[in-house]
Structure 1
Amino acid sequence: MSDHYYTQKPGVKHDRRMHEAVLRGQKYRFATDAGVFSKAGVDYGSQVLIESITLNASAAVLDVGCGYGPIGIAAASLVPQGSVTMIDINERAVELAKENAALNGVRNATVIHSDLFEAVKDRKFDVILTNPPIRAGKSTVHQIFEEGWSLLNPGGEMWVVIQKKQGAPSALAKLETLFERIEEVTKDKGYRIYRAVKQ
């Protein structure tokens, strides 16, 4: 079986690179490697999500499937009095995300190795951010929505980026079974940003 970015221990040979990205007007540097999602730089969907999110400065934020960390690290700058927890099943991605948080001077983010929500299942969050692993299959994506809903505080929000051709309609339909209020915040080059609110 070939390695996927949602493999726990990627076996593919290391190919470390450094990338720069400007997110919300701020410059970041990210170390990436083979065997992680979007190793060639911050993917467009994540960029659209980062540019779209609005966060309370003291929010407790969870970044699900954080990869090497661009979403969670950018979010950390938006919650100076809050905190960001970043989780991923991919051990290589987790190490990179820890390194990238330090590299960018982020002190209010914690990176945890977790199979979906296993490591944080006893915690509650104000906001969940996710660029879900579409290639892991619809059942995994729907599980992120379902279990994420249960970890949100009342009034909490889940922000999702998903491509129209990669299942945005079915994702929206699933979110509508869980959340009372859903807004399509923006659409850009086939990507949809959904903000789902738990009343």
Structure 2
Amino acid sequence: MIVYSNNEVKLKFQTNDKVFSPKAIDVGTISMISKVDFAPTDKILDLGCGYGFVGIYAAQFICPSQVTMSDISDDALKLAKENIALNNVNGIKVIKSDGLDNIDDSGFTLILANPPYHENFSVPKNYIEKGYNKLNVGGKIYLVTKRKEWYKKKLITVFGGTKIHEINGYYVFEAEKREHRKPTYKKKSSHLSKKLARKKQRNKE
């Protein structure tokens, strides 16, 4: 069991070797939450929650029912549910989801994530592009990683800008959804398929 405490909270977590950072709360994650100001009205998504540290920490400052935690791993979700009960924050929603694929809710004010940075960029790409659409205007996404340039470019493309906090050897990215802005990243064009359809039609004629 991990015990985490600071000047504001004391929390306990059951972990195992099948989940990320089982022996101690990840330094990058702690660095990320140090840059977040929680408000009582927040609606929070802990994306890739693991055994639940971020969402359970957030629920110390807001109503647990305003927190959603998600992960693709059954082991992580089982532990997250156990840790919700262990820390008396019943009411947190726990959802199995590959990125944001199964997150039907929207209107979040904060999305918090520590995406895997030793793999390709498909996971953070999902987090950033789909996360944008799940945020309220004025809502923010926070991501922590040790890789800088790709995240910087992607967040600028989708959100129009980002703040970068360098702390404890990590980069904490903070990007806000601004009013009336649409993401500028390119979606797959259907232009080619339309041309092929016209060509097939001509061939039939």
TM-score tier after normalising by the smaller chain length: 0.7 to 0.9
Q: 2 CA distance for matches of 1:109 and 1:179? A: 28
1:190 Cα shift? Answer: 1.5
Task: Provide the aligned C-alpha RMSD in A.
Answer: 1.7
Name 1:47's counterpart in structure 2. 30
Q: Match of 1:68, as an amino acid? A: Y
Residues 106 and 136 in structure 2, CA contact (< 8 A), matched pair in contact too: no
* 1:73 and 2:56 aligned: yes
Gaps of 5+ in 2: 179-205
Residues 110 and 141 in structure 2, CA contact (< 8 A), matched pair in contact too: yes
Normalising by structure 1, what TM-score?
A: 0.83
Q: 2 CA distance for matches of 1:46 and 1:104? A: 19
Q: Match of 1:149, as an amino acid? A: Y
Q: 2 CA distance for matches of 1:123 and 1:25? A: 29
Higher-Rg structure is: 2
1:19 Cα shift? Answer: 0.9
Name 2:121's counterpart in structure 1. 138
Name 2:2's counterpart in structure 1. 19
Name 2:149's counterpart in structure 1. 169
In structure 2, relative to structure 1, the CA distance for the partners of 1:82 and 1:97 (3 Å cut) is closer
1:24 Cα shift? Answer: 5.5
Name 2:176's counterpart in structure 1. 197
Q: 1 CA distance for matches of 2:64 and 2:19? A: 30
Gaps of 5+ in 1: 1-17
Which structure has the highest strand share of the two? 1
Name 2:72's counterpart in structure 1. 89
1:48 Cα shift? Answer: 0.8
In structure 2, relative to structure 1, the CA distance for the partners of 1:156 and 1:19 (3 Å cut) is same
1:85 Cα shift? Answer: 0.1
The percent of aligned pairs where both chains have the same amino acid is: 35
In structure 2, relative to structure 1, the CA distance for the partners of 1:188 and 1:103 (3 Å cut) is same
Aligned length: 178
